[in-house]
Amino acid sequence: MSLQNFIESLDGLLDEAKSSLDTVASNEQLEALRVKFVGAKNGAIKAVQKLMGAIESEHRPAAGKKFNEVRDAIQSLLDTATDRLGGGTKTSNEPSVDPTLPGVRPVLGQLHPITQTIEHLKEIMGRLGFNVTEGPEIEDTWHNFVALNIPEDHPARDPLDNFYLATAKKQAQNPSDRDAMLLRSQTSTVQIRVMETQPLPLRIISLGRVYRPDAPDATHFPMFHQMEGLWVDKNVTMAQLKSVLRLFATSYLGSDVRVRFRPSFFPFTEPSVEVDYWWNGNWIEFGGAGMVDPNVFQALGIDSEKWSGFAFGLGVERLCMRRFGIVDIRDLYRSDVRFLRQFAS
Ligand code: DAH
């Protein structure tokens, strides 16, 4: 190797070091450059130094002088860059973590009060022999209305009282349309689905969301939950219905709860009652119930002479609110963890 070439490669190295070290912006990059130029194993300086052996002996002193100059220049570029970046972590003896600072406590999640309530209700009803089933939240009019004996002109089917879906087939849905789909307005849909598919006798509950276009206030929300119950067997009676709802209420709300059944009307039960529980000095309606209407059995091809049943539907939010002392349903759905954390399971 000629002296000329040797000097040229040293100058090239110095230029490269200059341009990269003048602009280096982080200690990590600086460390990488330090390794690249002066690293003891594979640094560029080391590599050039090895070439020195190939230079004629007469030129070696000049080569050595040049080599030392460039090596020192690169070292001082490194020092300048180190100062500019406030000193590398390498040179600092201070620990980068202060072990005397208090730790950060991990935040534990917890179940939403409605989820807790649902689990609790399943457990109570499970002890009374009810199996848990589920149904879809998007329903057709057969399951939400027709099979439940809710005729076409019934006000419950009004588009203003339901969330009909704009399907691919049609933009605006007509409630009398057999293909219309909607967000289910009640979990009674699951009664139909279960009787369509499961052999009798059966005893089920189904807990899930229902949707109604109500303006939110302290007691209304456009999405809420219901617990539906259905017991079909031979000789099921209204007395059993009352016993089950009373047993359920004392299990969930306490043995001192007062229960009242008021005669009412639902298209899918006959006779029908509304179920009230005493709450803060008032009778509050928690849901409806009754004996399965023979028309419902008939729509499903079940012999109503042979089979009888009762059904009920209770509002889950109301049960949860009464148990936890929550006064505004909207608080459950604001996703404010300061509120929700009060109901640790
Ligand atoms: N589906 C009714 C509602 O949402 C509640 C209800 C009443 C359910 C009577 C029942 C029942 O199963 O038998 O208002």
| Domains defined for the chain, CATH in brackets | 3-84 (no CATH), 113-343 (3.30.930.10)
Per-residue pLDDT of the chain (345 residues; tens, 9 = 90+): 888 989 998 999 999 999 999 999 988 899 999 999 999 888 999 888 888 888 998 998 999 999 999 999 999 999 999 888 886 545 556 667 888 899 888 888 899 999 999 999 999 999 999 999 999 999 999 999 999 999 888 999 999 999 999 875 554 455 556 678 999 999 999 999 999 999 999 999 999 999 999 999 999 999 999 999 999 999 999 999 999 999 999 999 999 999 999 999 999 999 999 999 998 899 999 999 999 999 999 999 999 999 999 999 999 999 999 999 999 999 999 999 999 999 987
Categorise residue 265: left if φ over 0, alpha if ψ from -120 to 50, beta otherwise: beta
Task: Give me the pLDDT at residue 168, please.
Answer: 56
- For atom 8 of ligand 1, the residue with the nearest CA is 313
Cα 15 to ligand 1 centroid, rounded to whole Å: 84
Task: Give me the pLDDT at residue 166, please.
Answer: 86
Look at residues 328, 317, 318, 325 and name the one whose alpha carbon lies nearest to residue 343: 325
Task: Give me the pLDDT at residue 171, please.
Answer: 47
Cα 189 to ligand 1 centroid, rounded to whole Å: 10
> Which residues are bridge partners to 45 per DSSP?
none
DSSP state of 168: S
Best residue among 145, 185, 186 to mutate for probing ligand 1, ranked by most atoms within 8 Å of CB: 186
Best residue among 125, 266, 274, 297 to mutate for probing ligand 1, ranked by most atoms within 8 Å of CB: 266
Point out the ligand 1 atom lying closest to the alpha carbon of residue 226: 4
Task: Give me the pLDDT at residue 279, please.
Answer: 87
Task: Give me the pLDDT at residue 343, please.
Answer: 92
Residues with CB under 6 A from ligand 1: 186, 188, 228, 266, 269, 287-290, 311-313
Cα 184 to ligand 1 centroid, rounded to whole Å: 13
CA angle centred on 66, ends 65 and 68, rounded to 5°: 65
> Which residues are bridge partners to 263 per DSSP?
273
Point out the ligand 1 atom lying closest to the alpha carbon of residue 185: 4
- For atom 3 of ligand 1, the residue with the nearest CA is 186
d(CA 262, CA 343): 32
Point out the ligand 1 atom lying closest to the alpha carbon of residue 314: 5
User: Residue 69, Cβ neighbours under 10 Å: how many?
Assistant: 12
Task: Give me the pLDDT at residue 50, please.
Answer: 87
Instruction: Give the start-end residues of each E strand in the chain.
Output: 131-132, 138-140, 163-164, 181-183, 202-211, 223-233, 259-266, 269-279, 282-292, 308-315
CA 165 to each of CA 141, 159, 176, 181, 225: distance values in angstroms, whole numbers, following the listed order? 11, 10, 13, 6, 20
The helix (H) or strand (E) run that includes residue 316 is helix 316-324
* This prediction's pTM: 0.71
CA 69 to each of CA 11, 66, 72, 262: distance values in angstroms, whole numbers, following the listed order? 10, 5, 5, 103
In whole angstroms, how large is the CA radius of gyration of the chain?
A: 39
DSSP string, 21-79: HHH--SHHHHHHHHHHHH-TTT-HHHHHHHHGGGS-GGGHHHHHHHHHHHHHHHHHHHH
